[in-house]
Amino acid sequence: MDRVTAASQALKRLVDSPVSVMEVCGTHTVSIFRSGIRSLLPPELGLVSGPGCPVCVTDQGEIDCALSLLDRGAVVAAYGDMFRVPGESGSLASKRERGFDARVVTSAFDLLAMAEGDPVKEVVFLAVGFETTAPATAALLIEASRRGIRNLSVLSFHKRTPPALASLSADPGLRISGFLLPGHVSVILGHAPFSFLASDRGIPSVIAGFDPEQIVSGLVDIALQLHSGEAALHSVYGRAVRPEGNRRALELMDRVFESRDSCWRGLGPLAKSGLALRAEFSGFDAEKRFELKPEQGRTPPGCRCGDVLTGRITPHECPLFGSACTPASPTGPCMVSAEGTCGAYFKFSRRGGGPR
């Protein structure tokens, strides 16, 4: 008997009343669908997708800020998933089709050659993502400062994961029994930033990697904690996650960024949940350079992406899912991104959420 099957049988013995576990990583969401894990779980164990997709949690108003810079003649560069996310005046992709200079990058360091290659153009990096991508943005700015590049700036819309989990775990309407914590973010942050979930909120929480064995092992760990009545923070990600995190990455972030209030799609404004540039790097701050003031954006009519991101509904409960909103013509970012919950449901599931 393989370990996944053995773990699933253990879950069926341990879980005999309704349990809701939230995974907080888009890669977990996709892996759970792709591997068919849901078909191995007891019916009492429900998996809920949380705000684990960085593109999806980027607020509508932040996207509109980036689009406004195209109207002002700037070059706006972003990772590929951001390109098709719609804002008030279109998307980066649609604006590019209309002649605006929007560019896809695969690395933050692509911006260096871009800015140096056209020194009379303002080049702006739309920097989104969690603690996994923020160190690369920090390294970019340190190098740009060293080279004396003056036509490069950054829209820092990076998000910090722990404040979002604090908000979710404090919401009595969600009734989350346990958290399956993101592996990649934990590699950077380590254990300590998530310890409050167990110690203060009494919610079992397990850091897991992305293969089926680790995901199911994490669920067994959560079930054992619930069975014993004692909550703890554990890791089944082996040596990939050190308790202290990645010190070099944390040092880079601390040198360049400071925490600030930020608006999340679905969660709204959260204190100290974003990353702003420190004074030393304020010359690279696109918000200051272009006098931008991001405001909470308006959700497209009918779109319930925010409710999907917070686990209040499944994608099939959104009236636009699969009809007005598809991967070919997305209304909200949850259908755009490869890590978006709606995109995963559309690709892998039948109506009703079951695996194929």
Query: pTM of the full predicted structure?
Result: 0.94
Question: Is the same domain home to 177 and 324?
Answer: no
> Using one digit for the tens of pLDDT, what is the confidence trace for 85-97?
999 889 999 999 9
Q: Are 64 and 136 in a shared domain?
A: yes
CATH number for the domain harbouring residue 126: 3.40.50.11740
Where is 276: in which H helix or E strand? strand 268-277
Radius of gyration of the chain from its Cα atoms, rounded to whole angstroms: 21
Tell me, what's the pLDDT at 259? 98
**In-domain check, residue 282:** yes
Residues 155 and 278 in one domain: yes
- Which residues fall within 8 angstroms of residue 9, CB to CB, at 6 or more apart? none
Q: Does the residue 356 lie in any domain?
A: no
Instruction: Give domain status of residue 67, yes or no.
Output: yes
Whether residue 95 sits in one domain with residue 22: no
Residue-by-residue DSSP string for 145-185: HHHT--SEEEEEEEB-HHHHHHHHHT-TTT---EEEE-HHH
**Residue 254 within any structural domain of the chain:** no
Are both 140 and 96 inside the same structural domain? yes
Pair 66, 114 in one domain: yes
144 and 227 part of one domain: no
Structural domain includes residue 253: no
Number of domains in the chain: 3
Q: 183 and 43, same structural domain?
A: yes
Cα end-to-end distance, the chain, whole Å: 23
Same domain (yes/no): 148, 270: yes
Answer whether residue 104 is part of any domain: yes
* Local confidence band at 1 (pLDDT 50, 70, 90 cut-offs): very low
Q: What is the mean pLDDT of the chain?
A: 94
Whether residue 83 sits in one domain with residue 148? yes
Q: Which domain holds residue 328?
A: 305-342
12 and 147 belong to one structural domain: no
pLDDT at res. 257: 99
Tens of pLDDT along 302-344?
A: 999 999 999 999 999 999 999 999 999 999 999 998 889 999 9
Same structural domain, 59 and 41? no
Q: What is the Cα–Cα distance from 222 to 32, expressed in whole angstroms?
A: 16
Tell me the per-residue pLDDT of 179-215, one tens digit each, with 9 for 90 and over: 999 999 999 999 999 999 999 999 999 999 999 999 9
Q: Is the pLDDT of residue 242 over 60?
A: yes
Parallel/antiparallel/unpaired status of strands 45-49 and 19-23 = parallel
